Amino acid sequence: MAHRSALGARCDGVGVRPSRAVRGRRWATMRRRAYGTSDADGTWREHASNAFTKLIDVARGQRDVVQAGAPALRDRAKEIDPREIDSAEIQELIGEMVRVMRARGVGLAAPQLGIRKRVIVLEDTEEGMSDSSAEELASQKRAPFACKVIINPTLERVGDASAIFFEGCLSVAGYRACVRRHLSVRCRGLGGDGKPVDFIATGWQARILQHELDHLDGVLYTDRMESRTFRRVDMLSEPLPGDHAEFGAGVVLGESVIRIERTMSDAESVEQRVKNSRKNRKGR
């Protein structure tokens, strides 16, 4: 979402062939491992020990973001076998996706790099929001959050409230349009290290999740947009068509505050149930 090959051997033990130790020691098989750890909400914490790996990957360059018309953007991406998450192929893909996202946007799906795999990354920072006014951020319910990596994600809406805002996409460069999205969703899947992910997202984070998950199903925001609002980025300040009075509210004027507050309350209730469920599983 727009905001503004593996090496043969690695020093960290990933992808290294079994080698005979010196002076008659036994054969040592290096185990695969993830390049970071994941929290229950998908937050991805990359291991500092991978700094050398990152330098090598940066030197090799990275893929370009594919544009509308590329077949990968219209195919349904394939699920990743959980047993392969800690492989060099998947871990390097995650690293590359995070770098591309941080350079150009707030979210990215693997198909945008031409890779038909069900993995998304997202992050929103204070720096990335610096061009928006406090009023805009409040209306969008937008707040910073740390990098998240989610593999094989699924979404479930929480409540009925929705809102319409402009969206852009790195794969539809230079254009924006208004899109209606749910204000709150529950996201489940696997983190970058294969651990279960289960959390509630609201506001702008929920919008980013819905946008990126669409990519995994071969859907672009242009398939969901209010077509009469489609425009170039340099035309965003132009007035909206007269029949779009709900822009940013998503519900009938006068009911919006009540319904949105009720939805957020529902989301908090579901989130608490999710947390309680995790505690119960740990206590068994």
- Annotated catalytic residues are 212
Question: Rounded to an integer, what distance in angstroms lies between the CA atom of residue 81 and that of residue 244?
Answer: 44
* Residue 211 identity: H
Our CA angle for 252, 157, 115, nearest 5°, is 120
* CB atoms closer than 10 angstroms to residue 123: 23
Q: How far is CA 189 from CA 41, 118, 254, in A?
A: 10, 10, 37
Q: Which of 150, 137, 144, 228 is nearest to 194 (CA)?
A: 150
Instruction: Report the distance separating Cα 176 and Cα 234, nearest Å.
Output: 10
* Angle 62-192-37 from CA coordinates, rounded to 5°: 115
